[in-house]
Amino acid sequence: MLISLKDALEFGEKNGCGIASVNTPTLEMLVAAIDVAERYGVPLIVQHAEVHEPVNSIENIGSAMVELAKRSSAPIVVHVDHAESFDYVKRGFEVGFNSAMFDGSRLPYEENLRITKEVVELAEQYGGRGVEAELGVMPGREDGEHGNNAGDASLYTDPELAHDFVAETGITALAASFGTVHGLYKAEPKIDYELITALRERAGVPIVMHGGSGLSPEEYRKCIKRGVQKINYYTYADKAALEAAKKLLVEEPETFVFSPLAVAARNAVDKNFDALVQCLYADYLKR
């Protein structure tokens, strides 16, 4: 069933857990994500990012995301991730996504503020859908602008600016830079936990962790306790899918069609997402 971003975040805050927010640009990843959410009966956010358009358009995979979410016994949010324009958010809402993130983090502050306000207004026109926005620069983006420099504090989100930004835009959640990176880690992450606390207090809304792959269970739990409620995750699951397909080709070199590779990839992603959910929802699942 579809639930709102606000409801998912409130579940996390009430139960002391982070909400897994997984990108699912392929059907294999989408089916695995829904299966894991149903296995544990927990809220989960499935996402499609603009950068994944070459894999599947938001109209194609998005329609499947919305339909499977509606049919699911688990509470699911369908979220546009890293939309880099107002128009891409609108495309997602037209498909049926009930939440979206506009990423203006690399824009001048005033431009980021202006477009985010427009996105919030658009969300209201579509029935009050959730909006996430980002302040601070997250290293490791695909264009390599800032490399993989997770420890560069000059890129981190300023709590006072976060307060002003949230107050002026009315967003549901704030993605912030505090030491994680997108993609694979080339060095140990250097998370500023005190900054997370300050951001949560000053922003007044749940904090979103981008670059959630590659952290230890202890690091996840410490971030959640400090105020991170939504945790984005993709790269390591996608990597697990690739490794499973490669392993199958080594073990069964006579394979001559694609479908067994798709099954191996889906099973690997299922296992990867399962471990993530067990970690992020640990306190809730123990009850």
> Could you read off the pLDDT of 209-238 as tens digits, one per residue?
998 777 899 999 999 999 999 999 999 999
Q: Region 239-245: what's the mean pLDDT?
A: 97
Instruction: Report the predicted TM-score, pTM, of the whole model to 2 decimal places.
Output: 0.93
**To the nearest whole number, what is the mean pLDDT of the chain?**
93
Active-site annotation holder among 7, 35, 81, 103: 81
Query: Confidence band (pLDDT; 50, 70, 90) for 179?
Result: confident
Q: Lowest mean pLDDT: which of 30-34, 81-85, 213-217?
A: 213-217
Q: Region 258-276: what's the mean pLDDT?
A: 98
81 has catalytic annotation: yes
- Residue 242's contacts (CB-CB under 8 Å, 6 or more residues apart) are 265
Q: Region 81-103: what's the mean pLDDT?
A: 98
Q: Please give the single-letter amino acid code of residue 215.
A: L
Domain limits for position 218? 5-285
Q: Region 106-134: what's the mean pLDDT?
A: 97
Report d(CA 132, CA 20) in Å as an integer: 15
Q: Region 78-83: what's the mean pLDDT?
A: 98
Query: Confidence band (pLDDT; 50, 70, 90) for 139?
Result: low
In the chain, how many domains are there?
1
Show the beta-strand stretches assigned E in the chain.
19-23, 44-49, 76-83, 99-102, 130-135, 173-176, 207-209, 228-233
What is the percent of the chain with per-residue pLDDT over 90, rounded to a whole number?
86
Please check whether residue 183 is in contact with residue 140, taking contact to mean a CB–CB distance below 8 angstroms.
yes
175-204 as b/e, with b when 16 or more CB fall inside 10 Å? bbbbbbbbbebeeebebbbebbbbbbebbe
Report d(CA 241, CA 246) in Å as an integer: 9
In CATH, what number is assigned to the domain containing residue 260?
3.20.20.70
Let me know how long the chain is.
287
Report d(CA 271, CA 33) in Å as an integer: 10
Cα-based angle 25, 222, 148 (whole degrees, multiple of 5) = 50
Q: Residue 143 pLDDT > 50, yes or no?
A: no
Please check whether residue 189 is in contact with residue 214, taking contact to mean a CB–CB distance below 8 angstroms.
yes
